[in-house]
Chains A and B, each alone.
Chain A
Amino acid sequence: SQQGEEDPQALSIQEGENATMNCSYKTSINNLQWYRQNSGRGLVHLILIRSNEREKHSGRLRVTLDTSKKSSSLLITASRAADTASYFCATDHKIIFGKGTRLHILP
């Protein structure tokens, strides 16, 4: 079974707006990672947050982790057309993904 579940499943926003997506997981973790997948095949690692961290930033990305709620959020600020992609969360060494959030940035 899948460990991570992303929410929402799909999100459309105007360019320049912020996009927030959430991930919930089921068991204890050592770390949680977010990945992006464009219409091609490759998945790109975005950010890793460890279980003892609560928030992490990387450029326009901000990730939070709440281990008590077993949830994480990914915020993309000042969205760009190039951010249009599917986003997945994953936990620990098995990197078990949910179904992803499909983000569409409108021009």
Chain B
Amino acid sequence: GAGVSQTPSNKVTEKGKYVELRCDPISGHTALYWYRQSLGQGPEFLIYFQGTGAADDSGLPNDRFFAVRPEGSVSTLKIQRTERGDSAVYLCASSLEGDAEAFFGQGTRLTVV
């Protein structure tokens, strides 16, 4: 596609539920990143994929968060047993390689009620 696509754009879920957020990177981009951003803060790094493998998952806050990229393209961020503190905009970005400019999607606004 022309840019990084994230779906859904908005997600409201109840506390304790499971959610999946999807990211379609730019075709051919090997690097993919997930961030979350709370109001008034900068993006907080979650995880970085190089191809299919998670090259760095040090930003995942706890074991309720998990991300996959099975075919080296689309990625899914999975959050189990959601908590109100998980409410944020989740951003995905991709780059041609790990050491290049990144292109961001518009994000998924997750609200846990």
Residue from the list B56, B89, B100, B107 in contact with A94, Cβ < 8 A: B56
Of residues 1 through 58 on chain A, the ones whose CB sits less than 8 Å from some CB of chain B are 2, 30-31, 33, 35, 40-45, 48
Q: Which residues of A contact B101 (CB under 8 A)?
A: 33, 45, 48
Q: Which residues of B contact A97 (CB under 8 A)?
A: 35, 42-45
- CB of A2 to closest CB in B, whole Å: 7
Residue from the list B35, B103, B106 in contact with A45, Cβ < 8 A: B103
Residue from the list A40, A45, A99 in contact with B41, Cβ < 8 A: A99
Check B68 for interface membership: any CB of A closer than 8 A.
Answer: no
A30–B104 alpha-carbon span in the complex (Å): 20
Of residues 50 through 107 on chain A, the ones whose CB sits less than 8 Å from some CB of chain B are 86, 88, 92-100
- CB of B9 to closest CB in A, whole Å: 9
A88–B37 alpha-carbon span in the complex (Å): 13
Q: Which residue of B lies closest to A43 (CB)?
A: B104
- CB of B34 to closest CB in A, whole Å: 11
A95-B107 contact in complex given A33-B101, A45-B101, A48-B101, C-beta closer than 8 Å: no
Q: Which residues of B contact A86 (CB under 8 A)?
A: 42
A94 touches B104 (CB 8 A): no
A85–B31 alpha-carbon span in the complex (Å): 26
Interface string of B16-51 (1 = CB under 8 A from A): 000000000000000101010100011111001010
B43 touches A88 (CB 8 A): yes
B42 touches A41 (CB 8 A): no
A95–B104 alpha-carbon span in the complex (Å): 12
Residue in B31, B35, B43 whose Cβ sees the most chain A Cβ within 10 Å: B43
Q: Which residues of B contact A43 (CB under 8 A)?
A: 43, 91, 93, 104
Which residues of B are at the interface with A, using a C-beta cutoff of 8 A? Answer: 31, 33, 35, 37, 41-45, 48, 50, 55-56, 89, 91, 93, 95, 98-107, 109
Please give 12 more A-B residue pairs, beta carbons under 8 A apart, in addition to A41-B106, A45-B102: A33-B101, A43-B43, A44-B104, A45-B104, A86-B42, A93-B31, A93-B55, A93-B95, A94-B48, A95-B93, A97-B42, A98-B42
